[in-house]
Structure 1
Amino acid sequence: MTRAGLAAARSSTAQLAEIVPKVDNGQWELPSACAGWRVIDVVAHLAALASEAVDPPPPDPALPKNRERYHDLRVDERRGWSHTEVIDEWRRSTPRQLDLLAAAQEPPGADEPVEVAGLGTYPRHLLANTMAFNVICHLRNDLLAPDGPLPFTLPEPTDDQVAPAIDFMLAGLPQMQGPELTATVHRPLVLDLTGPGATTVTILPATAPDGQLTVTSDADSTATRIHSSALDFIAWATTRKPWRDHCRITGDASAATPFLDHLNII
C-alpha cells in the first residue's frame, strides 16, 4: 500500500497549515506562480479537491472534460468568497479527506481501481499520493518564494515528502495525455531523477497502436537518458518551468526532445 503517500500528504499539509496564518489580506490577493490564480485561489483549489473527496458531486456531463479547465471552474466558483470562507472550507474538509485516504490503505478496497476524471485510473490506495503531489507542488512552486510571492521559508523538502509525489506523477504519465504523449516515444527513454525523491525509471513505447507508454523500474543502459533533480521534475513536468533549463540529456537528444516538449502532468 502507499502509506508513504498518506504520510507525505499529512506532512506537506501540516506545512501549508503553518503558512496560512502568516498570510495577510494583501498577500492573499497576489498572483501566485500558477497562471491565472491568486494565492487564495490555490487554497481554494485544494479546498475544492478536499470537499469533493469528502462529498463527491453527482456526475455532470456539462462539466469540462479537460482536467485543468475543470479545476479552473471550481476555483471560479469560489472567487466571490471571502478569504475566511475559502480557508474555512480548506480547514474543514482537509482532515476528513486525510481520514478517507487513510481508510483507503486498508483491504479489501485498497487495490480497487478508481477513475479520476481526466487523469486516468489508479488503485484506491494511490490517491494519497495524488494529494501528496498536489500539496507539495502548489506549496513549493506556486506559493512560496522564490517562484511564488510569499516570503516565508520552510525546511528543505525531504525524500519522504517528494518520493510519493513522484510516484503519482510516474503512475499518471502514461495516462493523462493519452495518444498525444504516446506518439512522442519510439525508443526507450531513461528518466534519472536525483536528490530528495530520487528514482530511475525507463519509459517504454507502446507495443500496440492503441496502447500506452509503460514506466518500469528497470534502467535500460543503452537508452537515451534524461537527467534532472526530482524537485525540478515536479516543476518542469507540470510545465511550470522550461524543461531545457533543468534537464541534461545524454545519448540521442532527438529521441527525448519530442517527449519533453509534450509532457504535461496535471
Structure 2
Amino acid sequence: MTEAGVASARLSAAQLDELIPHIHDSQWDSPSACAGWRVIDVLAHLGALAHEAVDPPPPEPGLPTVRERYHDLRVDQRRSLSHAEVIDEWRTYTPRQLDLLEADQASTRSAGPVTVPGLGVYPRHLLANTMAFNVLCHLRYDMLAPDGPLPFTLPPPTDQQVSPAIGFMLAGLPQMQGPELDNTVTVPLSLELTGPGATTVTVHPARGSGTRLTLSPGDDGSTRIRSTALSFIAWGTTRKPWRPYCTISGDEPVAAAFLDCLNII
C-alpha cells in the first residue's frame, strides 16, 4: 500500500492552504512557471483534479486525448471564475479527495487497476502518489520562487514528502510516451536519484516488437545517470533542461537520447 503517498499529499496540500490567505489578487494573476498558466490557473488545475476525483464527470466525447491539453481545457473552463470561486473549489474538494485516497489504501479494491487517460494504468492505491506529485510539483516548482512568482518560503521537502512523488513518476515513466521513448533505450540505464526521495532503478530496453521498456529496482545498468531526486522532478517533467543536473557514466549518447525524449506529465 502507499499510505506514505496520502501523508505526502496531505502535507503539501496543507502547506498550500497555509499560503493562500497571504497571496494578493495581483499575485494570483502573475504568470506561473507553468507556461500559459497564471498562479490562479495552477490552483484551478489542482482544484479541478480534486473535483473530478470526488465527483467524476460523465463521459464527454471529443475531449483531448493528450493529457496536457485535457488539463488546459479544464483550466480554460475556469478562467471566468473569480479568485474566491477557484479557491473555494480547491478547499471544498481537496479534503474529500484526500479522504478517498486514504480509504483506498484499506479497500479491497486497492490493488485493482485504474486507467488514467493519457497517463497509463496504476493500482488504485498509487493514486495517492499521483496527488503527492501534483501538489508538491505545482506548488514548489510553478508557484513559489525562485522559478515561480510567489515570494514565500517553505521548509525543505523531506524524504517522506518527496519519495511518493518520485514513486509516481517512476510508475508513469514506462507508460506515458510510447514508442518514441522506448526506442531510445537500447542498453540498460541505471537512474540513481540522491537526496530526499533517493532511489535507484534500472530502465531496461523493450524485449521485442509491441513491448515497452521496463523498470526494476537497483543498479543493473551498463550506463548510469545520476541526479538529485528534487532535480529529477524539474527536469523529468521538462521544466528544466536535464544537462545541468545530471552526470552520465557509460554510453553517454544513449543516455542523452533517453533524457532528451523523457517528459513525465
**In structure 2, what is the Cα distance between the partners aligned to 1:20 and 1:215?**
38
Q: 1:98-154 CA distances to partner (integer Å, 9 max, x unpaired)? A: 011011101311001000000000000000000000000001100110011000000
Q: Does 1:256 align with 2:220?
A: no
Aligned to 1:93: 93
TM-score w.r.t. the length of structure 2 is: 0.99
Aligned to 1:50: 50
2:237 corresponds to 1:238: yes
**Counterpart residue type for residue 173 of structure 1:** L
Q: Structure 2 CA distance, aligned partners of 1:139 and 1:13?
A: 9
Structure 1: segments with no counterpart, 5+ residues? none
Name the SS of the counterpart of 2:115 in structure 1: strand
Which residue pairs with 2:103 in the alignment? Answer: 103
CA distance in 2, matches of 1:59, 1:180: 29
Secondary structure of 1:9's partner?
helix
Supply the distance in 2 between the matched residues of 1:137 and 1:219 (Cα, whole angstroms): 26
Q: Distance between the aligned counterparts of 2:57 and 2:183, measured in 1?
A: 34
1:183-238 alpha-carbon deviations (Å, 9 max, x no partner): 11011000010000000100001112111111110211x51111100000000000
Question: RMSD of aligned C-alpha atoms?
Answer: 0.7
Aligned AA for 1:250?
Answer: S
5+ residue gaps, structure 2, are none
CA distance in 2, matches of 1:190, 1:258: 14
Partner of 1:76: 76
- The Cα of 1:37 is off from its aligned counterpart by 0.2
User: 2:229 is matched by which residue type in structure 1?
Assistant: A
Tell me, in whole angstroms, the C-alpha distance in 2 between the residues paired with 1:179 and 1:235. Answer: 23
Write the distance in 1 (CA, Å) between the matches of 2:58 and 2:179.
29
Q: Distance in 2 between matches of 1:107 and 1:236?
A: 35
Instruction: Describe the SS at the equivalent of 1:142.
Output: helix
Structure-1 residue corresponding to 2:26: 26
Q: Secondary structure at the match of 1:138?
A: helix
Aligned partner letter, 1:264 = N
Distance in 1 separating the partners of 2:218 and 2:146: 35
Q: Partner residue of 1:164? A: 164
Letter in 2 for 1:95: P
CA–CA distance in structure 2, aligned partners of residues 61 and 234 of structure 1: 32
Matched residue count? 265
What secondary structure, in the 3-state scheme, does the structure 2 residue paired with 1:105 have?
Answer: helix
CA distance in 1, matches of 2:233, 2:218: 21
Q: Distance in 1 between matches of 2:59 and 2:217?
A: 36
SS in 2 for 1:59: coil
| Paired position in structure 1 for 2:38 | 38
Match of 1:211 in 2: 211
Match of 1:66 in 2: 66
Percent identity, please.
69
- For residues 78 and 245 of structure 1, what CA distance do their matches in structure 2 show? 36
SS in 2 for 1:240: coil
CA drift of 1:10 comes to 0.4
Deviation at 1:251, TM superposition (A): 1.1
Look up the match of 2:136: 136
Q: What is the match of residue 149 of structure 1? A: 149
What is aligned with 1:181?
181
In structure 2, C-alpha distance between the alignment counterparts of 1:230 and 1:53, rounded to whole Å: 27
Once residues 235 and 61 of structure 2 are traced to their aligned partners in structure 1, the CA distance between those partners, rounded to angstroms, is 32
Aligned-partner Cα distance in 1 for 2:210–2:243: 30
SS at match of 2:57: coil
